Copies of this chain bind each other. A is one copy, B any other.
Amino acid sequence: MILTVTLNTALDITYTVDTLAPHTSHRVGEVVERPGGKGLNVARVLAALGHSTVVTGFAGGPVGTVLRGLLASEGPHDALVPTAGNTRRTIAVVDTATGDTTQLNEPGPLISPGEWAALLGRYTALLPEARAVALCGSLPPGVHVGAYADLIRRARAAGVPVLLDTSGEPLRRGIAARPDLVKPNADELARLTGARDPLRATLDARRRGAHSVVASLGADGLIAVTPDGVWRAAPPAPVRGNPTGAGDSVVAALLAGLVDGLPWPERLARAVALSAATVLAPAAGEFDRPAHDELLPLVRVTEHAAAA
């Protein structure tokens, strides 16, 4: 199975309103709730691709109960660790006319030392069964900033390939613990390295400790700097739609390609096709399977001369 870790899970709530106008009152049209947090999104896509997946991380309080109830009707197996605090909500307010989205993200519950110890125990117990592990998203209050570095070292000690998808200081600390793969986006990469040029920044990120770095550049596709070479992969043409979850689909495809032992160009082609198929799907975080199958042979993967 593939294990994903979401320390700051969320109940993702989507509201539709005519137009969000600050300091006025709005009647919400539609209310949609979904289990969220990057690792849960990655696991949902992996399950849809037919992979056995297990999710761990934290969930608690009434919101955590709702999240776990919704998760039970999806594919991934629930190995979340209970918390005394209430799982956070994220509210996406979508303007009906334009599709523009305003995001309100609660901070998440304060994790106690006992809860963190329980998570480490659960994680360590799951690792021997895992063919790969993904560590995804932000850290909730109370979890130390080096938490991902700790989880990476444990995965490496267990011989399990580990992917890190986070930002800021947790990314910086995590990379230093030598994960097999990190997947920053262009902004995260620029903040990490100070370099504006994506290739230069990706090379720099790899020098900080990651075995491989796959940077997602939005509509421009991916840059991968790996021990086997450097590649760019891009869709045949830019796709328009809802980019929510596109990055999570890249992570899912990279994990699937890893456990299937695919060569890098094939992994990257699948990641680009799955990401584009996610943008094209009407519902955030879903993917359009026929579009994926149609796009896959059209993705352009080019090897780059730059030495990795």
Q: Which A positions have Cβ atoms within 8 angstroms of B?
A: 15, 17, 20-29, 31, 62, 65-66, 69, 91, 93, 95, 100-107
Taking a contact as CB atoms under 8 Å apart, the answer to whether B107 and A28 are in contact is: yes
Complex Cα gap A290–B100 (Å): 47
Nearest chain B CB to A25's CB is how many angstroms away? 4
Nearest CB in chain B to that of A103: its residue: B25
Q: Output the residue of A21, A28, A29, A69 with the most chain B CB within 10 A.
A: A28
8 contacts between A and B (CB under 8 A): A15-B106, A20-B102, A23-B100, A23-B102, A25-B102, A29-B107, A62-B66, A62-B69
Top-10 shortest CB links A-B: A25-B103, A23-B100, A20-B22, A62-B66, A28-B106, A26-B104, A22-B102, A31-B106, A28-B104, A23-B102
Nearest chain B CB to A28's CB is how many angstroms away? 5
Complex Cα gap A65–B102 (Å): 28
Taking a contact as CB atoms under 8 Å apart, the answer to whether A104 and B22 are in contact is: no
Nearest CB in chain B to that of A24: its residue: B102
| B contact residues around A100 at 8 Å (CB) | 22-23
Nearest chain B CB to A262's CB is how many angstroms away? 34
| B contact residues around A107 at 8 Å (CB) | 27-29, 31
Nearest CB in chain B to that of A98: its residue: B23
| B contact residues around A66 at 8 Å (CB) | 62
| B contact residues around A105 at 8 Å (CB) | 25-28
Taking a contact as CB atoms under 8 Å apart, the answer to whether A104 and B24 are in contact is: no
Q: Which of B69, B93, B101, B106 contacts A104 (CB 8 A)?
A: B93
Nearest CB in chain B to that of A138: its residue: B27
Nearest CB in chain B to that of A20: its residue: B22
Complex Cα gap A21–B66 (Å): 29
| B contact residues around A15 at 8 Å (CB) | 104, 106
Taking a contact as CB atoms under 8 Å apart, the answer to whether B62 and A103 are in contact is: no
Q: A24-B103, A62-B62 are in contact. List 16 more A-B contacts (CB 8 A).
A: A15-B104, A17-B104, A20-B23, A21-B22, A21-B102, A22-B22, A22-B95, A23-B102, A25-B103, A26-B103, A26-B104, A27-B107, A62-B65, A91-B91, A91-B104, A93-B104
